[in-house]
Structure 1
Amino acid sequence: METNIRFIPFESPSDRGWTEAWELYENAFPYKERRSLADHLRALADPRFEADGIWTGDALAGIIYHWDCGSGSRYVEHLAISPALRGQHMGSKALAAFCERVGRVILEIDPPVDEISIRRLRFYRRLGFVENPHEYLHPSFREPFVTHKLVLMSYPRPLDDGEARRFADFVRETVLSYSGHKEPRLPRL
């Protein structure tokens, strides 16, 4: 399989690969961790948000949905690889190419408490991400709005206190405005 990775933004449901990408999004993330279609379409109108298809040749290999969160940083909100390509290092290749393209990257992971979450932490570490010591709570995108503790990871270096606060503010004030929240109050540091 060709490994030349391209990132092509989705702008509307009429774009090539949209249906496959949306199905991947809905199957890869729990209900509480993803937007409704209406909220996703609203987010697409925000110039800070980009929903990219990850392509190899003519095939959609995955998705990476990310935000320009200021100060030269990109927040990777969702990353998923097609089930048919898992185990072929496509996630590593895609994220490494993305980091090379954009530079500074921030993302969130579940605390490393079980085999899956520990493997996910190791995956990001191998790509040069580091954990940040800041306590971070993130709410669901949909009702019921339950907060859950996440670990902030960043590439290629840790976030300082000010960067972590600005990131949490960005998520609270911008990202969550494209969710079911009427008045987003979290995440907090």
Structure 2
Amino acid sequence: MTEQLQFIPFKSRSDKGWDEAWDLYEISFPDCERWNAADYDRAFGDPHFEADGIWRGEEFIGILFHWKAGDFHYVEHLAVSPRLRGQNMGSKALAAFAEGKRVILEIDPPEDEISIRRLHFYQRLGFVENPQEYIHPSFRKPFHAHRLVLMSRPGPLTNEEARDFADFVRERVLRYSEHEAPTLPRLA
């Protein structure tokens, strides 16, 4: 019998599994999409934020860092340990997390083989690509805003939901970045 996946929130950087989670975080995301480690010390106390380790029994599987804002959940970072890739762990984890929730996430524009595969991965899990153009500010200096595609489940975002999401990123998430005065993620 396969053990069920568990989402166990980290409360500090000294928690069991944090070092493995941090190593995975650093190899899985580009510098502009990552926070500094010390920024998590502040974010752990934010009631909207949760940094989950994904576990199968005592085995560390991956990370799911997410935010709760009003009617939606924003998946900021999802990564599975490289030794487990290809075993549908990411699919299982995201499907379990998203069950019964309004979920928003961002992906790179589907312009190359990897980004197209990523789009199809999320589509297989019931996410839809949204038409609103979205510019996301980088979290770290030097700041380089970059275009991302908003995906949502169980259906597309209204323009109002997309604006609310962009406002949430600007007003809440960017507090934990290197921005002194958060830059507005734009909907074009």
| TM-score w.r.t. length of structure 1 | 0.96
One-letter code of the match for 2:142? P
Matches for 1:139-178 after TM superposition, within 5 Å: 139-178=137-176
How far is 1:68 from its partner?
0.6
> What is residue 17 of structure 2 aligned with on the other side?
17
One-letter code of the match for 2:31? Y
Q: Deviations over 1:57-99 (max 9, x none)?
A: 111100000001212x100000000001001010001100011
One-letter code of the match for 2:20? E
Rounded to whole Å, the distance in 2 between the matches of 1:24 and 1:187 is 26
How far is 1:16 from its partner?
1.0
> What is residue 29 of structure 2 aligned with on the other side?
29
TM superposition outliers: structure 1 runs of 4+ over 6 Å: none
One-letter code of the match for 2:126? G
Q: Is residue 74–residue 106 contact of structure 1 (8 Å, CA) maintained in 2?
A: yes
2:91 matched to 1:92?
A: yes
Rounded to whole Å, the distance in 1 between the matches of 2:186 and 2:59 is 39
| Paired residues, number | 187
**Which structure 1 residue ranges, 5 or more long, are not aligned?**
none
Q: Is residue 130–residue 157 contact of structure 1 (8 Å, CA) maintained in 2?
A: yes
How far is 1:3 from its partner?
4.5
Rounded to whole Å, the distance in 2 between the matches of 1:15 and 1:146 is 32
Q: Is residue 2–residue 57 contact of structure 1 (8 Å, CA) maintained in 2?
A: no
**Which structure 2 residue ranges, 5 or more long, are not aligned?**
none
Q: Is residue 108–residue 151 contact of structure 1 (8 Å, CA) maintained in 2?
A: yes
> What is residue 77 of structure 2 aligned with on the other side?
78
How far is 1:41 from its partner?
1.5
How far is 1:186 from its partner?
2.2
> What is residue 120 of structure 2 aligned with on the other side?
122
> What is residue 133 of structure 1 aligned with on the other side?
131
- Secondary structure of the 2:53 match is strand
Rounded to whole Å, the distance in 2 between the matches of 1:46 and 1:33 is 19
One-letter code of the match for 1:124? Y
How far is 1:2 from its partner?
3.2
- Secondary structure of the 2:186 match is coil
One-letter code of the match for 1:80? A
| TM-score w.r.t. length of structure 2 | 0.97
- Secondary structure of the 2:6 match is strand
> What is residue 38 of structure 1 aligned with on the other side?
38
